[in-house]
Every structure is written in C-alpha cells, then in structure tokens.
Structure 1
Amino acid sequence: MGYVGEDIPKLGFGFMRLPLTEADGAEVIDIEQVKRMVDAFMDAGFTYFDTARGYHGGASEAALKQALVERYPRESFQVATKLPAWMAKDADEARSMFATSLEQSGAGYFDFYLLHNLGENRTALFDDYGLWDFARSQKEAGLIRNLGFSFHDKADEFERVLEAHPEVDFVQLQINYADWESESIESRKCYEIARAHGLPVVVMEPIKGGSLVKLPDTVASILHEADRDAPLASWALRFAASLEGIVCVLSGMSTLEQVEENVAVMKRFGPLDAKEHAAIVRAREALDALPVIPCTDCRYCLKGCPEGVRIPVALASLNMLIAYGDEYRAQENYDWNAEGGEASKCIECGACEEVCPQHIAIIDELKKAAAKFE
C-alpha cells in the first residue's frame, strides 16, 4: 500500500519568495512573471504548490489564484496552504483564516492543509484556539483532503506533538544536507521520528533558503570535483528527494531561471549513489569546520534573559553570514524569528553568558546582530 502523496512528482513550488515589481510606488508580486514560472513548472509535469496565509503579507494565496487556479483545471494540481495561529489575536481570528484562504486562493478545497510553524511557544496556541478540532471538522466537510503541520523545533518536541495528535496525515519538516546532523535543527532526528510514525514528509528549505547555492569555495569545490556539471542546487534537491516517504521537496523559487534549473534537475531525478552521498558528507563536514559562532541552540540563555531576547536566532543569522555570506537569508531569518526579542533589547546583564555551555561572548555578538539586522 502506498503513502499519502506517493504519486505526486517530487518537486514542489513554494510561493514564499515570489518575484516582486513596483506599482504605484509600492512593491507587489510580479504576477506576469509568476504566471510564466507556473507555466514552466506545470509544463514539466510538476503539480504541487505550497503557500500560506502569511506569505507576502497575505498576498501569496491571491497570487496563486491568478497564476494557477484561474488558468488550469483544478484536478491538474495540488494546493497546500497553512494556518498561522501565532498571527491571530484570538481563536475566532485564527479560525477565520481558513475561510479567508479559501476565498483568496479560489482553490475550492485544499489537497494539503497545515497548521503552520509549530514549535517553541507557538505550539500551545493551536491547542488553546481549538484549531486541531476545527481543522478536523473542515476535513470531515471535504474542504481538506490531507491534514498536517509544519514544524520548526527539536526532535523531542516533535515527538510530543505527534503523540498528542496521531490523526495527522503528513508533516512538513526542514530537511537539507547542511542541517541533517545539526544540533539546533535536528533534521535527521525529526525525519526518523516521522517515518517511525508512518508519516510521509513534505520537505521545506532543502536549499536552506538559497544558502546552499552560495557555498564557500572550499565547500563548493568538493561537490564540483564529484560532478563538475551538476549545479549546486541539484545536490541539495536530490539529497532531500532521495529520502524514503517524501511527498515532495519544496523550492521557494523567485525567478523563471530557478524554475527551469530545478525542473531540469528533478525531471531526470535519480537517488544519490554511494559516491555522491559520500561527497555530500564531505561537504557537510567542510561546512561544519567553518569558524562559526559555536551555538548549539541549547536555549539555556533564554531562561534567564529579562528582556526575552531571541539569542539563538540572532546567532544563527550571524552564522548564515559567516558560513554562506548570504545576507538575504540571514536577514530573512532574523525578521521572521526575532520579532519581539530583537538583539537591541539586550541590557548587557550577562545572565546569558553565565549559563552558556559554549562560553560565547553573547553580549558582543548581540551588538553585531543589532547593527547588522535592525
């Protein structure tokens, strides 16, 4: 017996980082370019589209409607969207997001519907607002075909959520070769837990927000030596797609060229062989050897911080600059995850440094983060 999504082509189109243009003095989604990107994606035989209520300030679902839903037969593609409880002021507003998503996307129903970005203090909101029962009721009404959640936290918390909610049909996890053995993201551990529960996985961030196509020369040379003709993105996509039980591997594509490159890789996709897998292991080891801030995301620093500074987020963003030189991804990570706990709120009390097992000069690093990202 197959699993949910087994027959879906293994590249998914993420609507999180769409191309922008200027209109009336403001940046808006470039719908005409998105249409060309959707056409290239569909023409290549790929069918899975991923959006969310909060992407592009709420405009992503409407862009999906214009570029896809209004232009192709509904049965020819799959739509996934997400409900971000942490964006709502109360349960009523959170539940209303479902109807808004249906209206904005024009999808009629959702092939895959996700409670969005569980983990840390966000998880409790979905219980507090009764969203699990609400989502099940929408599934019973035929408006959701498959119910799941996306997750950003460690493996122990992931296991806890799955034990509390065994009714889910699939999960969405951050998986890429750089984070596979990461102590802060625990990609491998989370993937293995999902498979132990018999759940198929939608992969997000397989290219780490674009960072894995901006590798330092010392790392890129390892992959080029293994296959000089393979684009760096292909290594990341194929690593994720080679795993068992994958629904699809999402790529948040921003240009037609990215779509064309990714569909070319995935149309002729084959799992990594032993030699290729060994090259990725060497590349990961080279990445791990870079002189980054040695934060393991243990979060001891968070417990005593009187200002609630999101210290691990700030350090992770700095590390994206150190390891990849990726200013866009570093800023994006900071903007998404540090809100309310910005580095500039540090009062230099030193409570974090007293408990840091890695003896990081956290106050100095927070000053750097505030200067760079705020």
Structure 2
Amino acid sequence: MDRRDFLKCTLTLAALAPLARLTAQTGAAAAGADAGTESGKLTRRRFRDTDLTLPLLGFGMMRLPQKNGAIDSAAGQKLVDYAMKAGLNYFDTAWPYHGGRSELFVGEALSRYPRESYLLADKLPVRSIKSLQDAERIFQEQLRKCRTGYFDFYLLHALNRGNWETVKRCGLYDFVRRMQKEGKIRYVGFSFHDSPDVLKTIAEAHPWDFVQLQINYLDWHNYRSREQYEIVTKLGIPVIVMEPLRGGTLATLTSEATKILKTSAPDASPADWAFRYVASLPNVICVLSGMNRMDHLKENLRVYSPLHPLSDSERLTLASALAAYQKVDSVPCTACNYCVPCPVEVAIPRVFGAYNQYKIDGNFAAFKKAIDALPNEGGPASCVSCGVCLKKCPQKIDIPTQMKRIAAELKKK
C-alpha cells in the first residue's frame, strides 16, 4: 500500500465518529467517558454496563524479565509492585507463556495483594486440548498455579478456523460458561488470529463478554485489523488490544520515520504514538503491553496518565511515518515464540529479530554477528523446510521461505 492509499484509509477522527455513534446505538461495550482523566492518574474505562473499570494499560505476562534462561522473579516483582501502586491492576497471563512458568510467577507476585484489588486474565490453551477432560484438568491447574479461586477474565486462547472446530467438538464454550456459573470465571472471551470472515463466524456463534484482538497502526490494513475491529464493535463486544507495538517493531522505526514523528512531537517516542493510536479507538477497553523493564513501564504509564487521543493532524503525521517505515522489507514477526522449539533448533524469532534490526539500521556486521552467536547453529541456513512452524505461527508467516531468503542475503556479503 502506498502513502496515498494509507492516507485515504487510515483511521482519522472523522472515521472514528461513526463507530462511536454505532457503539452508543447498539449498546456496545466501549464504556463511554473515561474515568481518571486528571493529570498523573491512569485512565480507566468502564466495562460494558457494569460498575467495573479497567486500566487503559494492561500488563501482559508473555515477555517478563529473564535471568539465566528463567523468569527473573525479583525484577518481575518490582514491576508488578510499581504497576499496582500506579493503578495498573490488570494482569494477563496464559498457559504456554514462558514455558508454563508465567502463571506460577503471576500467582506468586500477586499473592501479597488482596484478591479483589487486581484483575486477572488467563486463557484455555485450545490448541493443546483433545477432550473436555483436558480442559477441566488444565483449568483447575491454572487456578492452582495462579493461587486464585477465580479468574476475572478468561479466554479461549488463539482461536482460528482450526481451533474453533476444537471448541465445538469438545464443548469448550459451554465449559467456560459453566465455570462462570460456578463463580470461577467472571467474564468469558476469546483471543483471535485469523481472517475477518472466521472472526465473524465465531463472534456471532455465541454471546461473548469481550474479545482480544491484535491491533496496531501497521496491522490496521496489513493484518485486516480494521475489519476485525468493526465486526466486533457492531456486535457490541468490547476489545482488549494485544500487540500494540507489533512485538516491539513499532518501538524502533527507521531513521526517516522516526524523524517525522520527532519533528511533530520531540518529546514523544515512537512507542508513545503507537499506544495512543490504539487507545484512541472508542471500543477499546484495555491495551496490553509486555513490559520487562522499569523504564518501559514508566513510559507507558505516562502515556495513559491520562490518555490524550490522537488529533486529526497527528493521524496524518503517523500515516506519513508509516509510509516511510514501509519502505523497509522486514518480516512481520511479533516474537510470540509459538513457533519454537524448532525440530532442527533454528532460533526463529531471534533470526527474524536480528534481520529486522538490520533492515532498520543497515548494520550488516552486527546482523551477521547476531546470527553467528545463535546456539546450536540455529541460524537460517539450518532450516530444512519441514513446515512444522507453519501451523503454529499466528501471523501466517511463510517461515521456511523467509529463512531461505535471509540465508541467501547472508551469503551475499
């Protein structure tokens, strides 16, 4: 898509207005007026027609600080404590995060706080389930690991066309609703990675309390996030956003794109722009960020304390920056790590991360050094095109083809 097309299609305030009216007309869950809009206080949004409010910034537990290959519990605890003190009390974990250790960390980190003082979200790993008994066993184990008697928000994880068949076959929707009736789940939703037509099928199949979607200004058209957002908004389903920075991609732009943003707002980082972009959508109730450093946490809290929605002119500036950034031939990897372990030990996310950084800064020597430093010869040349990763990637990246391309580029210099 060229700059003209993006400027024509990007979400301006004028385009937001009809969605805001639609939200009001259909009883959608975008909560209306923000709560906590005074300076220094984290903005919160009301959940549906309840008295519950969510912090606009949520803490994603997929990318916690690490030390010696494990979660750095001490550093992670400091982040959780700082977040709680700032009013950021929404924590999102999942069964596969950090090899199953994220839930254990969350249970330990939050155990020092009264249960009613925080909101906890977890997810049923649909891809790992073969029967209803699997779901029941895993759910009870999640409660134990998280040291809780209930989850505030519970999701059917990473639904797509294939996983939706598992949900139907194993009766998983009825199961989570049964857990809700028993008081072990407050609100039921799902996270999603597939095309808009599949989302429409799932969203219309049952009543849902909320949905978690991948939305950012890069994916608004590339990943068809706009269509997805509009589908659930028309159905009155509030949105929790994941990947607002596209796996960190939108935090480090090209020099040309960064200059455009800095000229407009010298004190704002590229990440600031990305976070404000998604939070400016009226049907978004929470934006998740996987923060593993204190400076990132503080910066993100600053952006949302309170939120200042993007103006019309700022959207045009962001569109110009995106047009500049899209000149780079990068791989749309979010470093979710769902594709690993690889059967031949290719370090897939690390390869893509090094390659994308090279495309941004042009430092081939650093790129080659990063690839050479991978353990077990886990570089792109080791890929045997077995295709195991293709079924796991939520971004639908043709990983073997990309590995061949990157390996060829390494040989050129």
Once residues 252 and 363 of structure 1 are traced to their aligned partners in structure 2, the CA distance between those partners, rounded to angstroms, is 27
Residue number in structure 2 paired with 1:267: 305
**1:11-50 alignment to 2 at 5 Å?**
11-22=57-68, 27-50=69-92
Residue number in structure 2 paired with 1:129: 170
Instruction: Check the 8 A contact 1:47/1:76 in 2, yes or no.
Output: yes
Once residues 51 and 363 of structure 1 are traced to their aligned partners in structure 2, the CA distance between those partners, rounded to angstroms, is 29
Given the alignment of the two structures, is residue 190 of structure 1 paired with residue 236 of structure 2, yes or no?
no
Once residues 229 and 105 of structure 2 are traced to their aligned partners in structure 1, the CA distance between those partners, rounded to angstroms, is 31
Residue 143 of structure 1 and its aligned partner are, at CA, apart by 0.9
Residue number in structure 2 paired with 1:250: 288
Residue number in structure 1 paired with 2:214: 174
- Give 3-state SS (helix, strand or coil) of 2:267's partner: coil
Tell me which amino acid in the other structure corresponds to 1:162.
A
Shift in alpha-carbon separation, 1:2–1:192, aligned structure 2, 3 A: closer
Name the stretch that deviates more: 116-125 or 101-110.
Answer: 116-125
- Give 3-state SS (helix, strand or coil) of 1:96's partner: helix
Q: Which sections of structure 2, spanning at least 5 residues, go unmatched?
A: 1-26, 30-45, 333-347, 372-381, 388-397
Shift in alpha-carbon separation, 1:324–1:41, aligned structure 2, 3 A: farther
Once residues 267 and 13 of structure 1 are traced to their aligned partners in structure 2, the CA distance between those partners, rounded to angstroms, is 15
**1:1-374 alignment to 2 at 5 Å?**
3=29, 5=47, 7-22=53-68, 27-68=69-110, 70-164=111-205, 166-182=206-222, 185-291=223-329, 320=356, 324=360, 344-345=384-385, 365-368=402-405
Greater RCO, 1 or 2 (C-alpha within 8 Å, sep 6+):
2
Name the stretch that deviates more: 363-372 or 282-291.
Answer: 363-372
Give the CA RMSD over aligned residues: 3.0
Once residues 175 and 181 of structure 1 are traced to their aligned partners in structure 2, the CA distance between those partners, rounded to angstroms, is 10
- Give 3-state SS (helix, strand or coil) of 2:250's partner: helix
Shift in alpha-carbon separation, 1:127–1:206, aligned structure 2, 3 A: same
TM-score between both structures, scaled by the size of structure 1: 0.78
Shift in alpha-carbon separation, 1:14–1:222, aligned structure 2, 3 A: same
Residue 289 of structure 1 and its aligned partner are, at CA, apart by 3.2
Tell me which amino acid in the other structure corresponds to 2:57.
L
Instruction: Check the 8 A contact 1:119/1:153 in 2, yes or no.
Output: yes
Residue 371 of structure 1 and its aligned partner are, at CA, apart by 8.4
Instruction: Check the 8 A contact 1:292/1:322 in 2, yes or no.
Output: no
Shift in alpha-carbon separation, 1:370–1:5, aligned structure 2, 3 A: farther
Once residues 98 and 363 of structure 1 are traced to their aligned partners in structure 2, the CA distance between those partners, rounded to angstroms, is 35
Tell me which amino acid in the other structure corresponds to 1:12.
G
Residue 365 of structure 1 and its aligned partner are, at CA, apart by 4.2
Residue 368 of structure 1 and its aligned partner are, at CA, apart by 3.3
Once residues 254 and 120 of structure 1 are traced to their aligned partners in structure 2, the CA distance between those partners, rounded to angstroms, is 32
Shift in alpha-carbon separation, 1:122–1:362, aligned structure 2, 3 A: closer
Once residues 323 and 368 of structure 1 are traced to their aligned partners in structure 2, the CA distance between those partners, rounded to angstroms, is 13
Tell me which amino acid in the other structure corresponds to 1:54.
P
Once residues 281 and 240 of structure 1 are traced to their aligned partners in structure 2, the CA distance between those partners, rounded to angstroms, is 14
Once residues 11 and 364 of structure 1 are traced to their aligned partners in structure 2, the CA distance between those partners, rounded to angstroms, is 36
Tell me which amino acid in the other structure corresponds to 2:124.
L
Residues 169-192 of structure 1 deviation map (CA, whole Å, 9 limit, x = unaligned): 11000000111111xx21111011
Residue 364 of structure 1 and its aligned partner are, at CA, apart by 6.1
- Give 3-state SS (helix, strand or coil) of 1:158's partner: helix
The number of residues matched between the two structures is 319
Residue 92 of structure 1 and its aligned partner are, at CA, apart by 2.1
Residue 276 of structure 1 and its aligned partner are, at CA, apart by 1.4
Tell me which amino acid in the other structure corresponds to 1:368.
R
Residue 88 of structure 1 and its aligned partner are, at CA, apart by 3.3
Q: Which sections of structure 1, spanning at least 5 residues, go unmatched?
A: 295-312, 332-341, 348-360
Instruction: Check the 8 A contact 1:112/1:145 in 2, yes or no.
Output: yes
Residue 168 of structure 1 and its aligned partner are, at CA, apart by 0.9
Shift in alpha-carbon separation, 1:220–1:120, aligned structure 2, 3 A: farther
Instruction: Check the 8 A contact 2:385/2:400 in 1, yes or no.
Output: no
Once residues 364 and 47 of structure 1 are traced to their aligned partners in structure 2, the CA distance between those partners, rounded to angstroms, is 42
Shift in alpha-carbon separation, 1:370–1:197, aligned structure 2, 3 A: farther
Residues 167-218 of structure 1 deviation map (CA, whole Å, 9 limit, x = unaligned): 1111000000111111xx2111101111011110000000111111111111
Tell me which amino acid in the other structure corresponds to 2:288.
L
Tell me which amino acid in the other structure corresponds to 1:17.
R
- Give 3-state SS (helix, strand or coil) of 1:254's partner: coil
Q: Taking every aligned residue pair, what percent have the same amino acid on both sides? A: 40
Residue 237 of structure 1 and its aligned partner are, at CA, apart by 0.8
Residues 281-304 of structure 1 deviation map (CA, whole Å, 9 limit, x = unaligned): 11222233334589xxxxxxxxxx
